[in-house]
Structure 1
Amino acid sequence: MRLLIIGTLDGQIGAASQIAMARGAKVRHVVTLEAGLEELRGQGADLVMIDVKCDIRTLIDSLEAERIVVPVVACGIATDASAAVRAIKAGAKEYIPLPPDAELIAAVIAAVTQESHNIVFKDPRMSQTLKLAEQVANSDASIMITGESGTGKELVARFIHKKSRRADKRFVAVNCAAIPENLLESELFGHEKGAFTGAVARRIGKFEEANGGTLLLDEISEMDVRLQSKLLRVLQEKEIDRVGGSQPVKVDVRILATSNRQMEEEVRKGTFREDLYYRLNVVTLALPSLRERPLDITVLADHFIKRYSEANGLPYRALSAEGRQMLIRHSWRGNVRELENCMHRAVLLAQGSEIGAEAILLSGGPVGTNPDPVVAQATAAAASVTAVSPTGLVGKTVAEVERDLILDTLNAYLGNRTHAANILGISIRTLRNKLKQYADDGVPVPPPAGGEPDRAAL
């Protein structure tokens, strides 16, 4: 983990650095906020610890403006409670009192930077897929990972990286669907100062950030054809050109790509370059849907029940026999992501000694049936379920029904544009255009999910 410390930490730099390095972190230190931003633009970081005396609000605003996603933790003397409150209000995720405590720093580092990337499975179909993934992981071949939304494509990409000879290097992911076309080139290849309006300083792109490691191009089928040609050149020449730059930069990156679309069909339609497809598609891993790996349904359900019971401070309740049968018979249009949301709800709603059928709110129509696709799109991602009577649609225009469908799905996914677009079966560009139209009409649009830039107004 790469840790950047900004400020003096009241003379506790040495102690904090030694504690972090003992936990496996690579530590860099700068004194000023401006120097910290330069470090983040030029090298990136996995975590920032900043002196509470620094202008934390300016740092957070600058990170948002430049689309630099990194958690920020504030540090200050233990007796200054008001400073801690100001830091959290300004956008810091945590506050560490000084002098630093080894266990506290270790806990904060783990809480802020650690994510669960374990793949839980039992079904032979998934076992075969992961066996193939492990077999090809140690090569430098590009791999295309395909599958429906919610099947765990990024998890498999991380699995491949961990099993590769690049495992000790960086894994960098970029969501091609969540970044507008005019910004994605800069995000991938970086830019020089003054290259365009808003380019206040040189910034490295994801290719340079992942140099020596693995770069995941998530939902690559959403990438504009013009940018696809530049990506093809990078893969062929193993060098990138920063936007506004005059000299190419050599890079050594292993490429993984994902898509929830049929890539051969995208090539046939002309929306994806055939030569780039074959360059990326040295090996294809097609992830099975949850419907195709039925033995994993209850295994995953138990896993999510334990996770969300602990996260919400609730007692563990086992899944009842009737509840298990409900899950097995369901169609799971949203795959593992839908199952996770369903179990999260069930943990919160359960009241007895078990999680029974009454706590399991399934989306997409009656259990064991294939729901109407329009209804399924509206409800597959639902983080909360609302019963809607068909008569409630009477008197509305088609445009109003479409608007309600889009906004309800977006609310269900807590503002995540990418997931909502996948569930609705539309492109992220179409979703952005719809949201811009609604915002222009004065309709409230849910804010984006944490870490996802707000593109509704673009």
Structure 2
Amino acid sequence: MRLLILGALEGHLTAASQIALTRGAKVSHADTIDKGLQALRAGQGADLVMIDVRLPIARFMESLKTERITIPVVACGIGTDADTAVRAIKAGAKEYVPLPPDAALIAAVLEAVAEESNAVIFKDVAMAQVIKLAEQIAPSDASVLITGESGTGKEVMARYLHSKSRRADQKFVALNCAAIPENLLESELFGHEKGAFTGAVARRIGKFEEANGGTLLLDEISEMDPRLQAKLLRVIQEREIDRVGGTTPVKVNVRLIATSNRNLEEEVKNGNFREDLYFRLNVFNLALPPLRKRPQDIHVLAEHFVKKYSEANGIDIRPLSAKAIARLQGHHWKGNVRELENTLHRAVLLASGTEIGPEAIMLTGEQPGTAPVAEVPSFQAATDDGDDDTRSTVEALGLGKLVGRTVADVERDLIIDTLKHCLGNRTHAANILGISIRTLRNKLRQYTEEGVPVPMPGEAETA
């Protein structure tokens, strides 16, 4: 955990820094916003920023947004003045921590930010085989390609590899290639010089330089544009990068881990991914099995998530009933561990009584209190004698809403509704829809040009 503290390091803020240090955090300090931004641009990196509420938080948050620096920010100040806390939250801070600092509260904030633990929870033999291979290859500097369906825990595995490697005391830096627009991904990877393009207000160190000496994770690398794939291949071969707008190559030393939820061999055959880059990345391949193929992990993971979200919500930990476990084990888990986690989070909040029963297990697509969806009866085409029956069946299935509409209209509504369900997260929506992030972006660009409102990241479903 890397903690950056912004503000005058005196009194209570010094105490907060000491608490963080005792909890294992690496703490750095800048007394002004400008110095803090300079440190972040220079590749110092941070997993969390604690900022003195007396500093202009709104200006700091706007600078982070403009320069595409994504870091959770927690405000802190003396006392528990409600107005001060509200102003900090409205400015963009995720939390407000009162000073003088409480050791348990500081620890909780650090733990919440660092919840992507290096520990991999498993029991099934299928996962045990993957862990055994991971531990064998972790000490090397060879590139690793982690493959598996969405939600199987590819980033968790990457962090586990880093924790078991010779670089464990160095930085672990992650970049989601699918979450960054193509025209900005090069700058995120390799950095840029001041004035290299519109919005480049200062020199910015890229992820390769930030991870120098440590490990760089390129998440969902299959979504990277082929032009940029060629530049990445050169970096791997030459071990040096060129900043956008720069004139001097910069030497880098990183251990590269990449992930993909697609079949890269098929992507190579289809011309979407460079074969030479694929072989460079695929020195070792860790293929994570889907949750449905590691059934013994469902129970142990479910108990882990019950404990996690019970503690997070201040609820007594209740055991899962036998019927609840059976319901979990009977589900297909298309979204894998991520879907299971969301299901157990809901269950913890919905359960009543001394245990979590099957009625609290709201599987994907269900509403609270409803039974599992029954199989839909089939029906034949209408005949003169069966018009009423057919009409009632069509109404029951909701097909009347589709009749008379074009395929393009139905597709648009499906994409927009899925995006709302995913709170604007493009990657999750694309996975649910079964299309590439590139296809989804093209569709959304078309809808925007047509004047259709497109949900932005963080926008929830509306009733």
- Say yes or no: TM over 0.5: yes
Cα 1:216/1:72, change in 2 over 3 Å: same
Could you tell me whether the CA contact under 8 Å between 2:153 and 2:337 is conserved in 1?
Answer: yes
User: Aligned partners of 1:226, 1:87: CA distance in 2, in Å?
Assistant: 42
Aligned to 1:444: 453
Q: Report the Cα distance in structure 1 between the residues aligned to 2:103 and 2:346, rounded to whole angstroms.
A: 36
AA at the equivalent of 1:436: R
Is 1:406 aligned to residue 407 of structure 2? no
- Matched residues in 1 for 2:163 and 2:170: separation? 9
Q: 1:430 aligns with which of 418, 435, 439?
A: 439
CA 1:296–1:165 in 2, change beyond 3 Å: closer, same or farther? same
Determine the C-alpha separation between the residues in 2 that align with 1:368 and 1:284: 40
Distance 2:400 2:356 in 1: 32
Residue of structure 1 equivalent to 2:7 = 7
Amino acid paired to 1:6: L
C-alpha offsets along residues 42-67 of structure 1, whole Å, 9 cap, x if unaligned? 12222222222211000001101111
State which drifts further: 429-438 or 66-75.
429-438
Task: Tell me if the contact between 1:149 and 1:423 (Cα under 8 Å) persists in the aligned partners.
Answer: no
CA distance in 2, matches of 1:272, 1:247: 28
Deviation at 1:316, TM superposition (A): 3.5
1:344 and 1:25 map into 2 onto residues whose CA distance is: 27
1:23 aligns with 2:7: no
Q: Could you say which residue in structure 1 is the equivalent of 2:110?
A: 109
Does the 8 Å CA contact 2:172/2:216 hold for their aligned counterparts?
Answer: yes
**Residues 52 and 313 (structure 1 numbering): CA distance in 2 closer, same or farther, change over 3 Å?**
closer
Q: Which runs of 5+ in 2 are unaligned?
A: 367-371, 376-395
**CA–CA distance in 2 between the matches of 1:323 and 1:7?**
49
| Greater Cα offset, 13-22 or 411-420 | 13-22
**Retained in 1: the 8 A contact 2:9–2:31?**
no
In structure 1, C-alpha distance between the alignment counterparts of 2:124 and 2:268, rounded to whole Å: 32
The question of whether the paired residues in 2 share the 8 Å contact of 1:71 and 1:92 is answered with: yes
Say if 2:116 and 2:156, in contact at 8 Å, map to a contact too: no
Deviations 1:244-270 (A, max 9, x none): 111111111000001111111111111
Match runs of 1:15-414 below 5 Å: 15-42=15-42, 43-78=44-79, 81-363=82-364, 389-414=398-423
Shift of 1:99: 4.4
Residue 16 to residue 357, structure 1, CA distance change in 2 (3 Å) = closer
Structure 1 residue runs of 4+, over 6 Å off? 364-369
Q: Contact 2:426 / 2:437 at 8 angstroms: preserved in 1?
A: yes
Offset from partner CA, 1:343-401 (integer Å, 9 cap, x none): 223333333444333333334797899xxxxxxxxxxxxxxxxx974444334322222
Q: Mind listing any 5+ residue stretches in structure 1 that lack a counterpart? A: 370-386, 451-458
Q: Return the index of the structure with the highest Cα Rg.
A: 2
SS in 2 for 1:319: coil
Task: Provide the C-alpha distance between the structure 2 equivalents of 1:423 and 1:117, rounded to a whole number of angstroms.
Answer: 27
Match of 2:28, SS state, is strand
Deviation larger for 61-70 or 322-331: 322-331
Code of the aligned partner of 2:34:
E
Kept in 2, the 8 Å contact 1:74–1:96? The answer is: yes
Q: SS at 1:54's partner residue?
A: coil
Amino acid paired to 2:236: L
Asked if structure 2 preserves the Cα contact closer than 8 Å seen for 1:329 and 1:368, the reply is: no
Inter-CA distance 95–346: structure 2 relative to 1 (3 Å threshold)? closer
Deviations 1:215-257 (A, max 9, x none): 0110101111111111011111111111111111111100000
The worse-fitting range, judged by mean Cα deviation, of 420-429 and 222-231 is 420-429
- Aligned positions, number: 433
Q: CA deviation at 1:2?
A: 2.9
The secondary structure found in structure 2 opposite 1:194 is coil
Aligned to 1:420: 429
Percent identity for Structure 1 against Structure 2: 71
Q: What is the TM-score of this pair, normalised by structure 1?
A: 0.87
Once the two structures are superposed, what CA deviation does each residue of 1:164-220 show, in whole Å capped at 9, x if it has no partner? 111111111101111111100000000000011100000100011111111011010
SS of the aligned residue for 2:230 comes to helix
Query: What SS does structure 2 have at the residue aligned with 1:345?
Result: helix
Pairwise CA distance, 1:446: 2.5
How far did 1:92 drift? Answer: 1.6
How far is the alpha carbon of 1:321 from its aligned partner? 2.8
- Segment of structure 1 superposing worse, 327-336 or 143-152: 327-336
CA deviation map 1:299-323 (0-9, x unaligned): 2222223323333333434333333
Q: Is the 8 A contact 1:330 1:368 kept in 2?
A: no
Measured at CA, do residues 300 and 49 of structure 1 come closer, stay the same or move farther in structure 2, by a change above 3 Å? closer
SS at 2:24 equivalent: coil
What secondary structure is seen at the aligned counterpart in 2 of 1:284?
Answer: strand
TM superposition score normalised by structure 2? 0.86
In structure 2, the partner of 1:454 is: none
- How far, CA to CA, are the matches of 2:331 and 2:276 in structure 1? 40
Separation (CA, whole Å) in 2 of partners of 1:358 and 1:105: 36
User: Structure 1 residues 239 and 389 mapped into 2: Cα distance closer, same or farther (>3 Å)?
Assistant: same
CA distance in 1, matches of 2:330, 2:430: 26
Task: Report the counterpart of residue 381 of structure 1 in structure 2.
Answer: none
SS at match of 2:273: coil
